[in-house]
Structure formats: structure tokens, C-alpha cells
Amino acid sequence: MFETRLDRVREAMATADVDALLLSVGPDLPWMIGYEAMPLERLTMLVVTRDTEPTLVLPSFEVPRVVDRPGVFAVQGWGETEDPVELVAARLDASAGGGTIAIGDHTWSRFLVALQHRLPDRKWVSSQTVVGDLRAVKEPHELDRLAAAASGVDRVAAALQGGEIPLIGRTEAEVSAELGRRILAEGHAKVNFAIVAAGENAASPHHHPGDRVIKPGEVVLCDFGGTTSEPHGEPGYCSDITRCVYTGQPPAEFLEQFDVLADAQRMAVEAATVGSAAASVDAVARSRLADADMDQWFLHRLGHGIGVEAHEDPYLVDGNQEPLSAGNVFSVEPGFYIADKWGARIEDIVACTADGPRSLNQADHALAIVEA
Ligand code: ZN
Ligand code: ZN
Ligand code: ZN
């Protein structure tokens, strides 16, 4: 798997006329070689040139963390008093090319600034130039992992909708913590977020769950996801789902609005076919909400790509005319947010396939009514 990925990266480097690729902290590195850099001040950096074996430069005492992948990359440890920036730069001096360098877009600026100082005549571009399209089109085994991640959070959503997770009388933060524990129990290595927003707090799309106590007769919006744990140091894949429940019988006005939202979400999923412009899928959901005069409450884009990173290309947003490709995986998450009153969102992860859109999340889309 990693060998073919390296081949494809080198092809992309040639196409983009990039001579070297440098990857440090962030998702590009685990995606490419199955190793995640420690996000600390000591530099870890994979150096990929077009003509030499890729080399992972990292602190010597962290070498035991590396899972060897012969034929994919070599390892060069650096001692506590050595200058790792110099080691990386020397590798670039030695390689044939040297014009344009692509650097991981999560790399700390202290390292980029030092490298630019040491290599003043190079042109610097983002790693997205090289790996962006490769990461956005999932390989079949990546699709399987994203589907497994989605099934994991589907089961957590089902527990929420089935009333197994007590709500009334608990704080948002307590419910968030329980969602987090359940995400881990479903095979995730870490929780990326567990938004719980009750009543008027649901009008804030990225609400931070706090000590607000959940009461009877209000909406509770839950948006949660994590990153799976995979064997042999392989990268984990992300999940992300939003479902809403109501503590008691909802008012007719909310039910009507929620029906329109569910309709908009379903129509947008159906529109996510190969070749459709990303913006057009956003427009489908937005115009359904507009029919009910609700589009002014839909405050954000329709969705984001997902993979080893929770948010990545492609973005389903007005203005993005890029056509969807088979293998793209993204969220479809319309919502409505009425300040000081309430809000709702429905979110699934959807794979664009040659056979049509496939929703990886299968948890019930209806508004669940829970009495406890
Ligand atoms: Zn969000
Ligand atoms: Zn979400
Ligand atoms: Zn999302």
C-alpha cells in the first residue's frame, strides 16, 4: 500500500514540477508512510526527492517508535546537539533537483523559516500541490475504513436516539463526555469533538458544550466524531455525524422546519454524483431551504471532505466549481440556526461512487423524541 502511494506521489511531483516534498506534523505524513510525528519542538521531517530514497529525519531516541517499512523510507536519527534543519537541507543540497520544494501545510513556521533561511534560492509551495488530489480520491481500502468509522458513530447515534444516553438533568458537558467514551468504545483511538448543544445553544453551529443543564422540551443537537485506530501504525480515518433529538414532544413549528431540513439533506445526498460541481450540491440543499424561507438560517457551507483529516478537500461550498470524482468522501450537513431560539443540523458522511452517492452513515435521520 505505502509503496504504491510513494509511486503516485512521485508522479504527482513530476506533474507539478516539484523537486522535493517535506512532511512533518500533520496528516500528510501518516497518510504517506504510516508514521505520525510527535508535535513537539524537536523536528521530525520526511524528505522525499525525485531521485533518492525517502528519509525520515527524527530525534534518535524516537527511532524506536517507527514501524520499519523497507522499500518505502529510510530513517536518520539526529542527536540532541545536532541541527536537524541542517540535516534536511544537506539532503536537499545533495539531490539533483532543488528548484521547488513542497512543504506540509501543518509544518510549524519555525522550521519553514529556518529552512527558507538556509535554502534562500528555492521556491516553496504547499504539500497540497502534490498530495491534495491523491488524498481527496480514496482508495478502496480507505473507503472501507471510513465506512467502518461511520458505523461506529452510527451505533453511538442509535444509543442517543434510543434514549440509552440520559439527557434531562445532565449538563451538555456530561453528555459530551459520555459520547466521547462511547466513540472510543466503538474502535476509535481518539475523539475529535463531541458537540452537545441544547435549546438556544443549538443556534450556534460550533457550540462548546458547557454547564448548561438539559431541560424537558428542547432540542439537543449532537455532532461528534473521532479517528479510528488501525493496526501496524497505519493511519486512522475520521468519523463525523450530527443527529438531533428532542426531550419531549416538539412544537409544530420545529417539526415543520426539521422536515424541510431532512428533505434538503436527502436531496443534497442524491445530488452528489460523479461530475456534479461541488457548489451545485450545496445549492440543492440551500434552494430547498429557500423554498420554505429558511435559507437565511443556513449559516455555513454544506460540507467538507474527510479522510485521515476531519476536514479536507473537497469542500462543498458556493464558488467551488470542481466536479466531484468517484472516491471523494465528504460530509453533507445542512442546518438552520435561529438565534436565541433553537437550531438543527443533519450530517452524514457520503462517498461519491461510479454507482451513485453512498451514505456511509445509516443512523435514523428522523428527529428522535426522548423522554429521559
Ligand atoms: Zn462544523
Ligand atoms: Zn460534524
Ligand atoms: Zn462535519
Provide the Cα torsion 140, 143, 149, 153; round to 10°.
Answer: -140
CA of 92 to the centre of ligand 1 (A): 39
Dihedral angle computed from the Cα positions of residues 131, 135, 137 and 140, in that order, rounded to the nearest 10 degrees: 130
pLDDT tens column, 17-32: 999 999 999 999 999 9
Each residue's pLDDT tens digit, 239-287: 999 999 999 999 999 999 999 999 999 999 999 999 999 999 999 999 9
Sign of the dihedral through C-alpha 256, 332, 324, 282: positive
- Residue 255, C-alpha cell as written in the block: 417539526
Compute, in angstroms, the gap from residue 87 CA to the centroid of ligand 1: 39
Which ligand has the nearest atom to the CA of 329? 3
74-78 vs 55-59, strand pairing mode:
parallel
Q: Please count the residues of the chain.
A: 372
Whole-number Å distance between alpha carbons of 343 and 62: 47
* Ligand 1 center from residue 96 Cα (angstroms): 44
Cα 311 to ligand 1 centre (Å): 9
Nearest ligand (C-alpha, residue 205): 1
What residues have their beta carbon closer than 5 A to ion ligand 3? Answer: 240, 331
Domain architecture of the chain: domains with CATH: 2-134 (3.40.350.10), 137-369 (3.90.230.10)
- For residue 304, the ligand closest to its alpha carbon is 3
Give me the amino acid identity at 289.
L
| Omega cis (within 30) before 314 | yes
What is the 241 CA–ligand 3 centroid distance (Å)?
Answer: 7
Q: How far is the CA of 239 from the centre of ligand 2 (A)?
A: 8
CB 302 within 8 A of CB 282: yes
Best CA proximity match to 24, nearest among 135, 105, 126: 105
- Please choose, from the candidates 17, 65, 21, 72, the residue with its C-alpha nearest in 3D space to the C-alpha of residue 42: 65
Whole-number Å distance, alpha carbon 52 to ligand 2 midpoint, is: 41
Three cell numbers, residue 198: 441544547
pLDDT in tens, 106-134: 999 999 999 999 999 999 999 999 999 99
Identify the band that residue 234 occupies on the pLDDT scale cut at 50, 70 and 90. Answer: confident
Distance (angstroms) between ligand 1 centre and the Cα of 346 equals 11
Q: What percent of the chain has pLDDT over 90?
A: 92
**How close is the Cα of 306 to the center of ligand 3, in Å?**
8
For residues 302 and 231, what is the distance between their CA atoms, to the nearest angstrom?
Answer: 33
What is the rounded distance in angstroms from the CA atom of residue 28 to the CA atom of residue 342?
A: 38
CA distance 238 to 123: 33
Q: Which three cell numbers stand for residue 19?
A: 523537486
The count of C-alpha atoms lying within 13 angstroms of the C-alpha of 114, restricted to the half-sphere facing its C-beta, is 13
Q: What is the CA radius of gyration of the chain?
A: 23
Distance CA(281)–CA(263), nearest Å, equals 14
Mean pLDDT of the region 345-353? 98
The set of cell numbers assigned to 224 is 461528534
Nearest bound ligand to the CA of residue 306: 3
Output the pTM of the full model.
0.94
C-alpha–C-alpha distance, residues 202 and 366, integer Å: 17
